Amino acid sequence: MIPSREGPDMKYLDEFRDVAMAQKLVRQIHHRASRTWTLMEMCGGQTHAIMKAGLDDLLSPCIRLVHGPGCPVCVTPMHVVDEALDLASRPGLIFASFGDMLRVPGSHGDLRGVKAAGGDVRVVYCPLEAVKMAIQNPSLEVVFFSIGFETTAPATALAVRQAQQAGIHNFSLLVSHVLVPPAIETLLADPDCTIQGFLAAGHVCAVMGCTEYVPIADRFRVPIVVTGFEPLDLLQGILMAVTQLEANHGQVEIQYSRVVRQDGNAAARSLMGSVFERISANWRGLGEIPASGLGLRAEFSAFDARKKFGLQKFADLDPVECISGLILRGLRKPVECPCFGASCTPEFPLGATMVSEEGACAAYYRYRTPSTSIPQPLP
């Protein structure tokens, strides 16, 4: 049984941003930490919340936060973006995508540019909207850009099942789904790894549950606290991780108990499993990780846009000066990159961690303080 945090549940927005409660948690963390602990929050949403509230400053120096590869937009490899640009440029095709993929640069521009040049690129919030588009536009092909972690994959799976049941043949997917636990395992297996504890992404565990993390915590003797996204969630998650570290424990705990159950969402998991299978995947900034992605099962290959449209293979051409790989592995902070805020900005991003608003570099840039706005040389 994975232990859940005890005490009253926190329910809505403002109460998770309560200043007095936050200050109390910060004091408790400072009090409990006998040394500097390096923790990694996995999700870009968590990074964003930390930077927005300035939690990293409040917790310094006893907590060093490094920022994990949990932004699905960031880690989508450039060759997949190039495939998207290729498809979206084709006449007779509607290319449906989550909004924040539109400004992610491929080797030749982004989806916004393709749209401006006449490509039919449409923003959707849910893959089912793309299925609806396919029904409403029978003479056009509709391709959904299917990216994301375990959070978005169930809805994509549902879209595929619905399209199959309705006999829709003009709907397909450009799939680039990735999975969190293999990434954590890869980071921990790195001999240079400095991460001593993880804040796992609460919404991923709401779907998948937490049992996958138990063998990882055991093997590497590392605390993994399944944490939410509001300032108090994060501070509470950090306190739980520090408490474990100080006691020399390394186990899975749930901070985000108002949403996450140990076994997750069985219906969503089974839907995902029926449509997707695990495959090796390439992560922007991290490279190839075995069994870390999802691909369509053979019986759904008719929905595979790569096969349907005979897409060519593109190469990944990330700029050599970009250190996003080091940042995603927790070995560098964004401000330690000489390009940060200089040659690399949200308008002209060089690599993974700046391309999406939720990337670590983008969060640092957006919420920078007057002193972090100046790039600092590498140590």
Partner 1 sequence: MNRSHPTFSCPIPIVHHERILMAHGGGGRLMHQLIESVFLRPFGNPVLNAAHDSAQFLPPKGRLAFTTDSYVVNPIFFPGGDIGSLSVHGTVNDLAMSGARPICLSCAFVIEEGLSMETLSRVAHSLAQAAASCGVPVVTGDTKVVERGKCDSIFINTSGIGIMEHSLSISPQGIRPGDAILLSGDLGRHGMAVMALREGLQFESTIESDSAPVHEPVLAMIQAGVSIHCLRDLTRSGLSAALNELAEASGLALQVEESLIPVNEDVHSACELLGLDPLCVANEGRFIAFIPAAESEMALNVLRSFQVSANAVCIGKVMNSGDPAVLIKSRMGSIRLLDMPSGEQLPRIC
Residues at the interface with partner 1 (CB under 8 A): 13, 17, 19, 22, 43-45, 51-55, 57-58, 72-73, 98-103, 123, 125, 147-149, 151-152, 203, 231, 346-347, 357-358, 365-370, 373
CB of 234 to partner 1, least distance (A): 11
Per-residue HEC secondary structure of the chain comes to CCCECCCCCCCCCHHHHCHHHHHHHHHHHHHHCCCCEEEEEEEHHHHHHHHHHCHHHHHCCCEEEEEEEECHHHHCCHHHHHHHHHHHCCCCEEEEECHHHCCCCECCECHHHHHHCCCEEEECCCHHHHHHHHHHCCCCEEEEEEEECCCCHHHHHHHHHHHHHCCCCCEEEEEEEECHHHHHHHHHHCCCCCCCEEEEEHHHHHHHCCCCHHHHHHHHCCCEEEECCCHHHHHHHHHHHHHHHHCCCCCEEECCCCCCCCCCCHHHHHHHHHHEEEEEEEECCCEEEEEEEEEECHHHHHHEHHHHCCCCCCCCCCCCCCCHHHHHCCCCCHHHCCCECCCECCCCCCCHHHHCCCCHHHHHHHCCCCCCCCCCCCC
| Residue closer to partner 1 (CB basis): 185 or 357 | 357
| Residue closer to partner 1 (CB basis): 53 or 226 | 53
| Residue closer to partner 1 (CB basis): 245 or 358 | 358
CB of 289 to partner 1, least distance (A): 20
CB of 277 to partner 1, least distance (A): 22
| Residue closer to partner 1 (CB basis): 19 or 247 | 19
| Residue closer to partner 1 (CB basis): 6 or 14 | 14
CB of 366 to partner 1, least distance (A): 5
CB of 31 to partner 1, least distance (A): 18
| Residue closer to partner 1 (CB basis): 188 or 204 | 204
CB of 333 to partner 1, least distance (A): 16
| Residue closer to partner 1 (CB basis): 26 or 323 | 26
CB of 111 to partner 1, least distance (A): 10
| Residue closer to partner 1 (CB basis): 26 or 39 | 26
CB of 286 to partner 1, least distance (A): 19
Say if CB 365 and CB 346 are below 8 A apart: yes
Say if CB 187 and CB 195 are below 8 A apart: yes
